[in-house]
Amino acid sequence: MRVLVVHNRYRSAAPSGENRVVDQETQALEVAGHTVDHFERLSDDIEHWSVSKRALLPARVVHNGEVRRTLSESIRHTRPDVVHIHNTFPVMSPSVLHACRDEGVPAVVTIHNYKLLCASGDLYRDGNVCHDCVGRSVALPALAHRCYRGSFAATIPVAVGLAVNRRAWQSLVSAYVFISESQRRICASLDLPQARTFVKANLVPAIAAPVPAPEREHLVAYLGRLDEAKGIPLLMKAWQRFAAGAPSGGLRLVIAGHGPLADTVKAWSAGRDEVDVVGTLDVAGCAALLSRARAVILPSQWEETFGLVAVEAMAAGVAPVAAAHGSFPELIGEGTGVLFTPGDAAALAHVLGDVDADPGRFAAYGAAARRAYLTRFDPGANLEQLLEVYRFAIDHPVRRDHGQRSRPESSHRPTVGMVEPE
């Protein structure tokens, strides 16, 4: 099969899980013998644009005619069986959907976040989960709260784009892939055609081999972006509560990542001998950290659409400890990790105390998590699910006349969906 992957890559200064997922899926397709071509735009390039070109970016967020033309040319040149679209923001815009329709090639869209509902893409505002724009045809609350980069002017084109392009997202896509059932439920108000909608977990190869419990260090790890939505302030607060109650427990915390709160985290860790802040790690560094840890902490304040680090930890035989909302209750079944009340520092501190006092229990969680990974997130099975979606899209294209479906929605569809927690 020949696949054209369309992706607006996120800035390199903020390492992106979405970029990693796209790369991992692409590599799996190529290893399996499929041909993958790429149509990409880089957010890093924006800072090198001329002043006049940057001035036009808000309009291009809504529709980018240049991208539509060049993608059409790429499709005619590569002649793919299917176009797989990931992120289109901010440079590409939904004009890529029109290019696929223009050239008569089925489009598969993986919806990685909440950008079709929310100007900021994470349904999180002022320290809380926010669904104010869910179900609205126009995201007026986003304008009132300046949800994109704290700027009213910057939020306008994003909100306009959500409204203007809603119909294109509904009618020009042959198959939609949500990455968790919780994400699909939250996005129900998008009114996407149900028969074309699938739930498929991200493809997650194991980056670290399981290590026997006796060889692990007495530490817990956080790997991810250092910002409020990911729960860094909550983690710091919970660790202080834990450390105050168990000053000689010996448990250590290693924080890996970068983000807007990096300086805050470094200042907080100063003088705390039991806390190490190691900055951004490459894949090998992440694997080494996972191989040392007894548990991985995922304190996210927003409703994560998919917990990539949680599944990587499971693959490595490490118990995930996560906030009990978003995708985490789907990923972490009973006996494979611990879920705690979202936003509750005391609850997280209690779990940290359990790790400290009973490492054997968390070793058992880690072993069960590894078995769950092999059963539910096997990369080979995941790739076959993706190929099933591609085949469905090829067999059920949308027509050129305003995106009307060319076949009845009762036609056969593959059995793709996230396996329920064990």
Q: Which range, of 161-170, 251-260, 407-416, averages the lowest pLDDT?
A: 407-416
If asked whether residues 133 and 220 sit together in one domain, one would say no
If asked whether residues 235 and 372 sit together in one domain, one would say yes
CA distance 400 to 58: 28
If asked whether residues 63 and 153 sit together in one domain, one would say yes
Assess if residue 21 is contained within a domain: yes
Assess if residue 401 is contained within a domain: no
If asked whether residues 113 and 239 sit together in one domain, one would say no
If asked whether residues 283 and 172 sit together in one domain, one would say no
Q: Are 124 and 302 in contact (CB under 8 A)?
A: yes
If asked whether residues 224 and 182 sit together in one domain, one would say no
If asked whether residues 46 and 128 sit together in one domain, one would say yes
Determine the 3-state secondary structure of 125 from DSSP.
strand
- Cβ neighbours of residue 398 closer than 8 Å, sequence gap 6 or more: 101, 106, 107, 171, 172, 173, 174, 404, 405, 406
- Cβ neighbours of residue 99 closer than 8 Å, sequence gap 6 or more: 67, 68, 69, 71, 72, 75
Assess if residue 116 is contained within a domain: yes
If asked whether residues 251 and 181 sit together in one domain, one would say no
**Residue span of the structural domain in which 111 resides:** 2-204+382-395
If asked whether residues 54 and 178 sit together in one domain, one would say yes
The reported pLDDT for the residue numbered 416 is: 63
The reported pLDDT for the residue numbered 55 is: 75
Q: What is the pTM of this model?
A: 0.91
CATH number, domain containing residue 111: 3.40.50.2000
- Tens of pLDDT, residue by residue over 124-147, are 999 999 999 999 999 999 999 999
Assess if residue 409 is contained within a domain: no
Assess if residue 168 is contained within a domain: yes
Determine the 3-state secondary structure of 335 from DSSP.
coil
Assess if residue 404 is contained within a domain: no
Q: Are 368 and 335 in contact (CB under 8 A)?
A: yes
Closest CA to 228 of 79, 359, 126: 126
If asked whether residues 218 and 234 sit together in one domain, one would say yes
CA distance 118 to 127: 16
If asked whether residues 198 and 296 sit together in one domain, one would say no
The residue behind tokens 């985490």 is: 328
The reported pLDDT for the residue numbered 400 is: 62
Assess if residue 8 is contained within a domain: yes
How many domains in the chain?
A: 2
The reported pLDDT for the residue numbered 14 is: 65
Q: Which range, of 51-65, 141-155, 189-203, averages the lowest pLDDT?
A: 51-65
Assess if residue 412 is contained within a domain: no
If asked whether residues 370 and 386 sit together in one domain, one would say no
